Amino acid sequence: MKITRQLLFFSFVFLLFTCKEQKQEPLVINGKDKVYDTEIEDKVNQLLSRMTLEEKIGQMNQYNGFWDLTGPEPKAGAAAKKYEHLRKGYVGSMLNVRGVSEVRKVQKIAVEDSRLGIPLIIGFDVIHGYKTLSPIPLAESASWDLEAIKKSAQMAAEEASAAGINWTFAPMVDISRDARWGRVMEGAGEDTFLGSKIAEARVRGFQGDDLSQFNSIAACAKHLAAYGFAESGRDYNTADIGTSTLHNVVLPPFKAAKDAGVRTVMNSFNELNGIPATADEYLQRDILKGKWNFDGFIVSDWGSITEMIAHGYAKDGSHAAELAVKAGSDMDMESYLYVEELAQLVKEGKVKESLIDDSVRRILRVKYELGLFDDPYKYCNETREKEVIGSEKIHAASLDMAKKSIVLLKNEKNLLPLKKKGQKIALIGALASDKTSPLGSWRIAADDSTAVSVLEGLHQYEGNTITYAKGADVSIGKSQFATEVKINTDDKTGFNEAIQAAKSADVVVMVLGEHGFQSGEGRSRTELGLPGVQQELLEAIHKVNKNIVLVLNNGRPLTISWADENIPAIVEAWQLGTESGHAIAQVLYGDYNPSGKLPMTFPRNVGQVPLYYNYKSTGRPILPAPDVVFWSHYQDQVNSPLYPFGHGLSYTTFKYEDIAVQNNYNTTGKVEVTVTLTNTGKLKGKEVVQLYIRDLYASITRPVKELKGFELVELNPGESKNITFTLTKDELGFFNNQGEFLLEPGDFKIFIGGSSYTTLESEFKIEP
Ligand code: BGC
């Protein structure tokens, strides 16, 4: 039986090659930008013409792995059905099957046992690395270093592809302005311009220049759309945003990913303006596949098709499948509804077979592009797996990215960098010795306790003595992946030991914040302070020693107003991945001069959230007189954030001067803006020079500031550099409520500086 199928498969492959026509010129479809590879299109069409309806629907079906293929074949339950479906060719993709030997097993069934032998595409959440983790995406975004971010994605692809994986569910390109939402850790922060550039860098990193290379994998821009606008920051909650926000804030990073060639897109769990995104025809068919001409495929989010019943949108499973496929969702992740319902829907005439054909064509196209038909086992090389996973090269890249992701929030009296000799250092905090938390919550393939802790990192420097005291546990709550579960603790028994250590220390380094499992999917919070009794610990230590360096570990902005007022040095170190402790130690000791800038605003308290730098002015933005009540403000808190978007210090200092607009938009079609940056400190350092615009009046009101350019510049002490930014209609225009892009004449302000709070400004006009 097996032999006959194998023969069939090989004769099929032979047929494809012999039928291959001479390579033709690429075909331009619809006169738009997509150029198809006609050779692949021919193969896709030939294969499609040989498929039964059930086999076509099978390609649209994705199953989760996790069943024991090494043991006996499962005989009962859902796993048995999945196995049988795999053999029948009713599965197009699997996720969470990983490691060469496991991937080879499922691929072998699909390729050798099914009638047509169509290879599986193997998906996995390679969010910030596979087994060797780089910083969480929010942290990487703090580097504003697009080359480094691209390289990090490249390294992730290198490692994951060596483990048999050829498709990642990344990058998450959701913009979010709400630190309560746990998944802010997975994105690029609050800004659309920065988010779009990072989306592009990540897609290019994962996919490389040639998708058919053995070390590049297909990327997936997710979650279409507005998942990051979940009301009250509660994951999976309803999103209700206006068209201006949709087109100007939410969609551009998806467009940037599409333009960078992303091969897949994932829709989202949330409903948007009353329609679950999975069934949103406007987003998927009209915009993504229509206006943008996206020719890859859309995968649903996990069970999001069936969840439309709970949303109150679909009557039952059959209805949900019908709605999803009509709206353009090509692949069903773990709802089992396409495989169960679509054939019947086609037979009843409720779903046209041409819709199924379109989805299958898209899926097969990506499989051909990956080279899976040429060699379904191209990602299954045991020697490569051994050599690549955890290699020195990948660790070095992870360390490099980790250092670049650190943001120096505050550094009074140059408490940092630490002296390398003769110091007594008290190191305090459970997170300081934690080797799991720095891995974050998206670390399915990484083993517990594989990160370098801060304690280990500091021990690399032998000139000082270190006394470590935990002080208090960090509460991590329940976690799907954590092997160790600590529930909120008010245990202060460790305080005394920590206080004693601090009393006799020259400097206290406190590593406090959230455990890696406190942010991520399903991990929203209503309080954004230091969890558990860590705030009390900080205050208790401060009573006995004021020389504190606070190192924050967190997956989101935290409300740390007390620390900002009382602690002289604060370092934002997020969750930095496998090399975390080394990176933190090198920054604390000044072997690396930090240059990170916040990709999200830090609020003063939760009541200010959502708080973001590119807000709208309102009609009452400014306090008219000291005793006036009726203006846009709070009675109990100022409007400004604790740390603004774009903020971040260095061990050196920079001066900005001579901002000037060089030319006239009306005569040249662009605006060139220059500024001079000087390193006024004593150390070599890097600065992210940021350019913001304000369109003073427009047919759709524009934000008070919008990032429209940035450049990472490295300068020696005393060195100056002239920097030029070029603004074209792409940066100066905006979308109206119909989703049309406009550039309107009018008055603009330009701001350049080291954060969104810069006041160095100039102006220009676009004449009618
Ligand atoms: C998440 C996706 C993820 C998928 C597969 C879902 O719960 O929302 O982002 O890719 O699971 O693991």
Q: Closest ligand 1 atom, CA of 220?
A: 10
Instruction: Check if the beta carbon of residue 452 is closer than 8 Å to that of residue 494.
Output: no
Distance 612 CA to ligand 1 centre (A): 26
Compute the distance between CA of residue 697 and CA of residue 765 in angstroms, rounded to an integer: 12
Mean pLDDT of 6-18: 41
The protein residue with its alpha carbon nearest to ligand 1, atom 6, reads: 302
Give the pLDDT band of residue 583 (cuts 50, 70, 90). very high
Among candidate residues 390, 402, 448, the one with its CA nearest the CA of residue 156:
390
Instruction: Check if the beta carbon of residue 142 is closer than 8 Å to that of residue 598.
Output: yes
The residue to mutate among 235, 301, 306, 332, having the most atoms of ligand 1 within 8 angstroms of its beta carbon, is 301
Residue 566, token pair as written in the block: 């009382």
Which letter, b or e, does each residue of 366-393 get, where b requires 16 or more Cβ atoms within 10 Å of its Cβ?
Answer: bbbbbbbbeebebbbbeebbeebbbbee
| Residue 325, pLDDT above cutoff 80 | yes
Give the pLDDT band of residue 390 (cuts 50, 70, 90). very high
Residue 31 has what pLDDT? 36
Distance 302 CA to ligand 1 centre (A): 6
Residues of the chain with CATH 2.60.40.10: 654-766
| DSSP output for 340-371 | HHHHHHHHTTSS-HHHHHHHHHHHHHHHHHTT
Compute the distance between CA of residue 606 and CA of residue 708 in angstroms, rounded to an integer: 28
Q: Which of 174, 191, 301, 332 is catalytic?
A: 301
Residue % of the chain over a pLDDT of 70? 92
Residue 67 has what pLDDT? 56
Residue 237 makes CB contacts below 8 A (sequence gap 6+) with: 230, 231, 270
Q: Helix or strand or coil: residue 615?
A: coil
Q: Read off the amino acid at residue 617.
A: S
The overall average pLDDT reported for the chain is 93
Nearest-10 crossing angle of helices 392-405, 580-588: 50
The protein residue with its alpha carbon nearest to ligand 1, atom 12, reads: 125
| Strand extents, DSSP E, 486-555 | 507-513, 548-553
Q: Closest ligand 1 atom, CA of 186?
A: 9
Among candidate residues 720, 416, 425, the one with its CA nearest the CA of residue 594:
416
394-438 pLDDT tens trace = 999 999 999 999 999 999 999 999 999 999 999 999 999 999 999
φ, ψ of residue 468 to 5 degrees: the values are -105, 135
Top-confidence residue, 14 or 90: 90
The residue to mutate among 521, 523, 524, having the most atoms of ligand 1 within 8 angstroms of its beta carbon, is 521
Residues of the chain with CATH 3.40.50.1700: 405-608
Distance 304 CA to ligand 1 centre (A): 10
Q: Read off the amino acid at residue 581.
A: G
Partners of 35 in beta bridges: 28
Distance 301 CA to ligand 1 centre (A): 6
| Ligand 1 pocket list (CB less than 6 A) | 95, 125, 169, 222, 301-302, 521
Q: Read off the amino acid at residue 9.
A: F
Compute the distance between CA of residue 346 and CA of residue 352 in angstroms, rounded to an integer: 6
Instruction: Check if the beta carbon of residue 766 is closer than 8 Å to that of residue 665.
Output: yes
Q: Closest ligand 1 atom, CA of 172?
A: 9
Residue % of the chain over a pLDDT of 90? 89
358 carries an active-site annotation: no
Q: Closest ligand 1 atom, CA of 169?
A: 10
| Residue 593, pLDDT above cutoff 50 | yes
Superfamily in which the 654-766 domain is placed by CATH: Immunoglobulins (2.60.40.10)
Distance 204 CA to ligand 1 centre (A): 21
Give the pLDDT band of residue 490 (cuts 50, 70, 90). confident
The residue to mutate among 184, 185, 302, 332, having the most atoms of ligand 1 within 8 angstroms of its beta carbon, is 302
- Indicate the CATH number for domain 405-608: 3.40.50.1700
The protein residue with its alpha carbon nearest to ligand 1, atom 4, reads: 302
Distance 258 CA to ligand 1 centre (A): 20
Give the pLDDT band of residue 33 (cuts 50, 70, 90). very low
